[in-house]
Structure 1
Amino acid sequence: MRAFLAVVPPAEVVESVEAFLEPRRDALSGSGQWRWTRSEHVHLTLAFLPELEEWREEQLVEDGERWAERHTPVRLALAGAGAFPDPGSARVLWAAVEEHAPGTLAGWAKDLRALASHAGASVTGTRFSPHVTLARSVGRPRSAGHLLQALDTLRTPAWTADEVVLVASFLGQGPGGTPRYEVRHTWRL
């Protein structure tokens, strides 16, 4: 199964993002050039697992429990915006993550990627950059400088990230051909 390990912001933070984006989406993005992240899909990926065989999931859950027992929550907020790979040729628009204990999420991502790999999951090796995806370009990369100027003023309330979730992602099974997400396990820190 396709899966990921993530921090999911609480409802009030997601509502804050939605309220911020609502007047900007249609005005700035042009018709059909960007596919905006649905509110129920807002998350901060720590490890992407393009292939996790279901029989390996139990080992990952057990290892994750031990990991969570050794870690404490961290305060986070979303503040500012950016684009991957760059604003002139953007495929992804994202909200920046502000950590009250800088480096914590990078450490979590490193640990969780190692745990997933040890459990036998395929893990992507891309460099970790804490962010929450706001939109993806439809088709080709697009110039996004004007969007980033409008999105850079995003600022959400701070929250305490006190759990990490394992989420299965089923491509094309959600509304409008979007993925359907299923939380498979939650680890409390």
Structure 2
Amino acid sequence: MGTRLFAAVVPPADAVEHLDDFLEPRREAGEFRWTLAQQFHVTLAFLPDVAEHLVEEYVDRLADGLARTPVPVLRLGGPVAFPDAAGTRALAVAVLPESEGADVVLERMAGRARNAAVTVGTEVDGQRFRPHLTIARLRRPADTTSWVRLLETYTGPDWPVLEVAVIASHLGEGPGNRPRYETLAEIALGQ
């Protein structure tokens, strides 16, 4: 069994704190499994099973792919419900472009994170990239319309994406049987 890896944009502390403060008083409601604030991230590519010897090569390929990438400015705001508000399995906050072309840059970064996986010969989750930050998962699908409305009122501070993290996810090793995340590499943008 290899390593579960993902390449992600991790928001800075002030953006994490802002969203966490917004959610904190509301966390008692709902049958949700809340994402821990220290695990907030925006996934660019998910690699379910990477052979140990390919991890470093993946990081190198990704660094090559992200070289000369302009720094996009983003903010978190607005709702995303997967698959929809009527039968939600995961609730997320959308990622909004703040700088000119930031959405295109983010899309390109996700493409490069996936291409790097293909280049080194490992499997990558093929779902269409839809930038979001998951805040909660539901044990069974439920109607989250009221949460979607609430999240429509949320807008976080903007921040420049200075790096992409490559994170290993160790299932069931974190608090409350959650995954434990281990940052293996941080790749700077804007070189």
TM-score (norm 2): 0.93
User: What is the SS of the residue equivalent to 2:153?
Assistant: coil
User: Which segments of 5 or more consecutive residues in structure 1 lack a partner in the other structure?
Assistant: none
Aligned ranges for residues 96-135 of structure 1 at < 5 Å?
Answer: 96-99=94-97, 100=99, 101=101, 102-135=103-136
Contact 2:92/2:136 (<8 A) preserved = yes
Instruction: Say whether residues 1:47 and 2:49 are aligned partners.
Output: no
1:13 to 12, 15, 22: 15
- Within 2, Cα distance between the matches of 1:121 and 1:5? 14
Residue of structure 2 equivalent to 1:93 = 91
Tell me how far 1:97 sits from its aligned partner: 0.5
State whether residues 82 and 152 of structure 1, in contact with CA within 8 Å, keep that contact through their aligned partners in structure 2: no
Counterpart contact for 2:5–2:169, Cα < 8 Å:
yes
User: 1:26-65 counterparts in 2 under 5 A?
Assistant: 26=28, 28-29=29-30, 33-65=31-63
Identity %: 41
Residues 97 and 130 in structure 1, CA contact (< 8 A), matched pair in contact too: yes
Structure 2, unmatched stretches of 5+, are: none
- Please state which structure has a larger fraction of its residues in strand: 2
Tell me the equivalent position of 1:68. Answer: 66
Query: What's the CA shift string for 1:22-76, capped at 9, x where partnerless?
Result: 11222x42xxx11011011100000000011110012112112212322121100
Residue aligning to 1:136: 137
RMSD: 1.0
Cα distance, 1:119 vs structure 2? 1.1
Distance 1:64 1:128 in 2: 17
Counterpart in 2 of 1:154? 154
- Point out 4+ residue stretches in structure 1 off by more than 2 angstroms: none
Cα separation, 2, equivalents of 1:13 and 1:186: 18
Give 1:59's aligned amino acid. Answer: E
Provide the C-alpha distance between the structure 1 equivalents of 2:60 and 2:80, rounded to a whole number of angstroms: 35
Distance 1:119 1:5 in 2: 14
1:187 deviation in Å? 0.4
User: Whole-Å Cα distance in 2 between the matches of residues 170 and 120 of structure 1?
Assistant: 21
Confirm or deny that 1:25 pairs with 2:27.
yes
TM-score normalised by structure 1 residue count: 0.94
AA aligned to 1:119 is V
